[in-house]
Amino acid sequence: MGASDWHYTVAYQPDVKAALQQLRRDVYDRGEYYRQPADNDLAMTEDEFRARLDSRGENDGLNDAIVEDWLERKNLPVPSDPDTLLAAQPHSGTHSIIDIANGVSDHPRFGTVSALTDEELREAFGTTAPHSSQVQEWIRSGLSTRDKWVGTYVISYRNGEPDYIHFSGYSGD
């Protein structure tokens, strides 16, 4: 499937971590994420699943490996919030901000969002206090993208006061 880019804008609040967690919850509640298709094999009992396997795989351990994978998938949590959704589909992710489960960090790190440095802000916007329209254009241009599963946030300003927090990144497989 490949990764998907995502971006969100929320009203400014001083606690970026709280804004991120609320946004992850809102995206989950709205259903705005990738959900893996249902796997009908997971409704079977282990005996039913084993009965469908090719008997030629018994001697070389292939069937045991297939059953082990099936059991692992069968034991994944039932999604009830952003974190259990992400845990339920660890290989594909959600292709949304929900994939940013490790919060806010000082530097770009897997599963986190981090702010641009003052130098990066000046390079991207010519100022450390960009307007919302500048940030949105920058995101649309694709320049906001860091490595996969590593997000960015930028605070935009209006009349010298913080106005919005813009989150962007790309994730999923």
Contact 154, 164 (CB under 8 A): no
**Domain extent listing, the chain:** 1-30+100-173, 37-88
Q: pTM to 2 decimals? A: 0.86
Pinpoint the alpha helices (H) of the chain.
16-30, 46-51, 62-74, 82-88, 118-125, 132-140
CA 3, CA 102: separation in Å to the nearest integer? 18
Q: pLDDT tens, 105-134?
A: 999 999 999 999 999 999 999 999 999 999
Give helix then strand counts, H and E, for the chain. Answer: 6, 4
Whole-angstrom distance, CA of residue 158 vs CA of residue 148: 30
Per the CB < 8 A criterion, the answer to whether 116 and 152 are in contact is yes
Query: Percent of the chain at pLDDT above 90?
Result: 68
* Residue-wise pLDDT tens digits, 137-156: 999 998 777 899 999 999 99
